[in-house]
């Protein structure tokens, strides 16, 4: 915690705001900034501070002084043509394809909005296949980022259906085609064949990249054998460990993309890889005409529609800052782009941080789910199941303002452990797996990019001390 991240809300006002946060992760971000003590270490929120301190502050933010008049006025809600062109180039590099065409890239305020826009588009007049309707189901391997529920359920009125990954055995936390097929067939037999499949690649919270062969199988089955659309959430695509032997494969690099592009929609944003979470930048990459009309508007005289991003735009202020970032040279004129340099440096920072935190977890005997050769993105998926139901000799300390888990709640033992670690003297917040639809209690997500590696290591040591006292 640094002084400049705290604001002066009264405890009552802060508590009132906290009670209204839409989910546990957002509530924990607020708690960290406004209520937690100076010594608390929050590793619950998926954020990335590494690049800002490394170079982004100096090379980008320290130089942004004046916002030109043009950038305080209206600008295209799905991003200016220049911005879409530059993001298309950045994504072509990240997705390892020759070209991503800018006309298929659309900006909006955050990936959560990008996902919602796709859902609305597929419910519209002209998607490939029958339009989705209220109550249509969305298959999502679980655990998953709980925000999918906001994006698909709250306004588009679709229904998220978790496909539980196995939590024990040889295929522990592994996605297989058989699992997806079974979930699909079961729902179909109940008269509710799902219409949308969402894959997060690299995965949050498991960190893994899906192997190309598995993606070929899944896309082949879903696109040939069903009328599913697939959303590939690739928001962590630059977050790669050098030790990962399963390389990241974007949906747009798959063979299936050549035939079925209109049913494959990719999303990405600057929140995670670039650490710009508060900016709310999201991009949809889609060749589907209904998605395009939703993102850019449709001037069909029979039924004109406004661009959906008008209501959550890639506004002129973020256009200015992101454009500055995309134009900036790495090291003075002629030195190449800062973004290319930044993603290379980020990879080194990520690997270093992962190595230090892994060593600390191993030294402390804290278990986590990670096989050699797997990617980790920004996470360790801690297995604290053996501490469930154990208690310390001391009563649990109250943690003023620590948010409730929200509707549905958490398993009581998981919640106890979450609160115990968040309380003094440990003061480390981790995200309980129950907040991510994990099928069993006792798993916690630790985001190792949320603080500098030294702080994360300190947090791991404090957690180890607390766990060591449980009987």
Ligand X SMILES: Cc1ncc(COP(=O)(O)O)c(C=O)c1O
Contact positions with ligand X (CB under 6 A) in 27-46: 46
The pair phi, psi for residue 200, each rounded to 5°, is -105, 115
Q: Which stretch binds ligand X (CB under 6 A): 73-81, 104-112, 286-294, 443-451?
A: 104-112
Cis status, amide bond into 425, omega within 30 of 0 = yes
Which of 18, 43, 56, 111 is the binder for ligand X (CB under 6 A)?
111
Task: Report the residue number, 426 or 438, with the smaller CB distance to ligand X.
Answer: 438
- Provide the minimum distance between the beta carbon of 127 and ligand X in the complex, in angstroms, as a whole number: 22
- Provide the minimum distance between the beta carbon of 371 and ligand X in the complex, in angstroms, as a whole number: 21
Q: Which stretch binds ligand X (CB under 6 A): 98-106, 109-117, 128-136, 366-374?
A: 109-117
The pair phi, psi for residue 324, each rounded to 5°, is -60, -45
- Rounded to a whole number of angstroms, the distance between the first and last alpha carbons of the chain is 31
Contact positions with ligand X (CB under 6 A) in 218-247: 233, 235
Q: Which stretch binds ligand X (CB under 6 A): 93-101, 128-136, 220-228, 274-282?
A: 274-282
Query: Does 140 help bind ligand X (rule: CB under 6 A)?
Result: no
Q: Characterise 408 by phi-psi region: left (phi > 0), alpha (psi -120 to 50), beta (else).
A: left
Contact 416, 396 (CB under 8 A): yes
Q: Which stretch binds ligand X (CB under 6 A): 174-182, 208-216, 220-228, 269-277?
A: 269-277
Task: Report the residue number, 111 or 457, with the smaller CB distance to ligand X.
Answer: 111
Question: 357: which 2 tokens?
Answer: 């935190």
Q: What are the contacts of 142-145 at 24+ separation with CB within 8 A?
A: 142/436, 142/437, 142/438, 142/439, 143/205, 143/206, 143/433, 143/436, 143/437, 143/438, 143/439, 143/443, 144/198, 144/200, 144/204, 144/436, 144/437, 145/46, 145/200, 145/204, 145/205, 145/233, 145/436
Which of 30, 104, 106, 145 is the binder for ligand X (CB under 6 A)?
145
Q: Which stretch binds ligand X (CB under 6 A): 106-114, 124-132, 248-256, 422-430?
A: 106-114
Which of 107, 269, 434, 441 is the binder for ligand X (CB under 6 A)?
269
Which H or E run contains 94? helix 81-95
How far is it, in rounded angstroms, from Cα 276 to Cα 254? 28
Residue nearest to ligand X (CB): 110
Task: Report the residue number, 277 or 319, with the smaller CB distance to ligand X.
Answer: 277
Contact 444, 432 (CB under 8 A): yes
Question: 208: which 2 tokens?
Answer: 């893994």
CA angle at residue 407 from 149 to 175, to 5 degrees?
45
Query: Does 139 help bind ligand X (rule: CB under 6 A)?
Result: no
Task: Report the residue number, 141 or 282, with the smaller CB distance to ligand X.
Answer: 282
The pair phi, psi for residue 72, each rounded to 5°, is -110, 10
Task: Report the residue number, 121 or 360, with the smaller CB distance to ligand X.
Answer: 121
Query: Does 275 help bind ligand X (rule: CB under 6 A)?
Result: no
Bridge-partner residues for 379, per DSSP? 447
Task: Report the residue number, 124 or 269, with the smaller CB distance to ligand X.
Answer: 269
> How many residues lie near ligand X (CB under 6 A)?
15
- Provide the minimum distance between the beta carbon of 384 and ligand X in the complex, in angstroms, as a whole number: 21
Question: Hey, which bits of 329-457 come out as E strands?
Answer: 379-383, 428-429, 431-432, 443-447
Contact positions with ligand X (CB under 6 A) in 280-339: 280, 282
Q: Which stretch binds ligand X (CB under 6 A): 110-118, 309-317, 432-440, 454-462?
A: 110-118
Question: 91: which 2 tokens?
Answer: 């994504």
Task: Report the residue number, 75 or 200, with the smaller CB distance to ligand X.
Answer: 200
Contact positions with ligand X (CB under 6 A) in 409-448: none
- The helix/strand/coil state of 461 is helix
- The helix/strand/coil state of 389 is coil
- Provide the minimum distance between the beta carbon of 431 and ligand X in the complex, in angstroms, as a whole number: 10
329-358 core/surface letters (b: 16 or more CB in 10 A; e: else):
ebeeeeeebbbebbbebbbebbbebbebbb
- Provide the minimum distance between the beta carbon of 146 and ligand X in the complex, in angstroms, as a whole number: 9
- The helix/strand/coil state of 247 is coil
Query: Does 264 help bind ligand X (rule: CB under 6 A)?
Result: no
- Provide the minimum distance between the beta carbon of 235 and ligand X in the complex, in angstroms, as a whole number: 5
C-alpha pair distances (Å), 312 with each of 192, 291, 303, 316, 377: 31, 16, 22, 12, 27
- Provide the minimum distance between the beta carbon of 236 and ligand X in the complex, in angstroms, as a whole number: 7
Query: Does 268 help bind ligand X (rule: CB under 6 A)?
Result: no
- Provide the minimum distance between the beta carbon of 413 and ligand X in the complex, in angstroms, as a whole number: 26
Q: Which stretch binds ligand X (CB under 6 A): 28-36, 108-116, 358-366, 414-422?
A: 108-116
Query: Does 200 help bind ligand X (rule: CB under 6 A)?
Result: yes
The residue ranges that bind ligand X (CB under 6 A) are 46, 110-112, 145, 147, 200, 204, 233, 235, 269, 271, 277, 280, 282
């Amino acid at each position: 915690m640094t002084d400049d991240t705290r604001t002066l809300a009264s405890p009552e006002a802060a508590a009132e705001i906290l009670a209204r946060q839409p989910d546990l992760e957002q509530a924990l971000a607020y708690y960290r900034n406004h209520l937690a003590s100076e010594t608390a270490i929050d590793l619950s929120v998926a954020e990335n501070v590494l690049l800002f301190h490394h170079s982004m502050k100096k090379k980008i933010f320290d130089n942004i002084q004046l916002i030109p008049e043009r950038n305080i006025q209206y600008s295209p809600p799905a991003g200016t043509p220049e911005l879409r062109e530059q993001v298309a180039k950045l994504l072509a590099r990240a997705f390892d394809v020759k070209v991503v065409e800018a006309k298929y890239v659309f900006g909006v305020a955050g990936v959560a909005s990008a996902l919602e826009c796709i859902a609305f588009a597929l419910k519209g007049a002209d998607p490939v296949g029958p339009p989705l309707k209220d109550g249509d189901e969305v298959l999502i391997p679980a655990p998953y980022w709980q925000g999918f529920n906001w994006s698909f359920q709250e306004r588009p009125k679709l229904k998220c259906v978790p496909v539980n990954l196995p939590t024990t055995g040889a295929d522990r936390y592994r996605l297989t085609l058989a699992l997806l097929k079974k979930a699909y067939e079961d729902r179909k037999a109940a008269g509710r064949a799902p219409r949308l499949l969402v894959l997060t690649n690299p995965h949050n919270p498991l960190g893994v990249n899906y192997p190309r062969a598995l993606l070929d199988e899944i896309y082949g089955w879903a696109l040939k054998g069903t009328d599913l659309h697939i959303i590939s959430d690739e928001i962590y695509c630059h977050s790669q460990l050098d030790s990962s032997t399963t390389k990241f494969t974007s949906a747009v690099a798959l063979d299936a993309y050549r035939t079925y592009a209109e049913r494959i929609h990719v999303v990405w944003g600057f929140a995670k890889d670039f650490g710009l979470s508060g900016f709310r930048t999201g991009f949809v990459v889609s060749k589907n005409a209904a998605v395009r009309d939703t993102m850019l508007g449709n001037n069909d005289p029979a039924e004109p529609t406004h661009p959906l991003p008008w209501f959550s735009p890639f506004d002129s202020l973020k256009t200015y800052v992101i454009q500055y970032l995309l134009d900036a040279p790495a090291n003075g004129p002629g030195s190449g782009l800062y973004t290319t340099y930044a993603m290379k440096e980020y990879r080194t920072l990520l690997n270093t941080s992962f190595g230090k935190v892994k060593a600390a977890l191993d030294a402390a005997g804290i278990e986590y789910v990670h096989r050699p050769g797997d990617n980790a993105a920004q996470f360790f998926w801690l297995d604290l199941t053996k501490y469930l139901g154990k208690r310390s000799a001391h009563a649990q300390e109250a943690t003023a303002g620590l948010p409730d888990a929200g509707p549905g709640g958490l398993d009581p033992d998981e919640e106890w452990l979450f609160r115990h670690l968040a309380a003094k003297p440990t003061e480390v917040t981790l995200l309980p797996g129950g907040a991510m639809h994990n099928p069993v209690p006792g798993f916690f997500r630790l985001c190792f990019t949320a603080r500098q590696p030294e702080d994360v290591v300190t947090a791991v040591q404090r957690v180890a001390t607390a766990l060591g006292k449980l009987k």
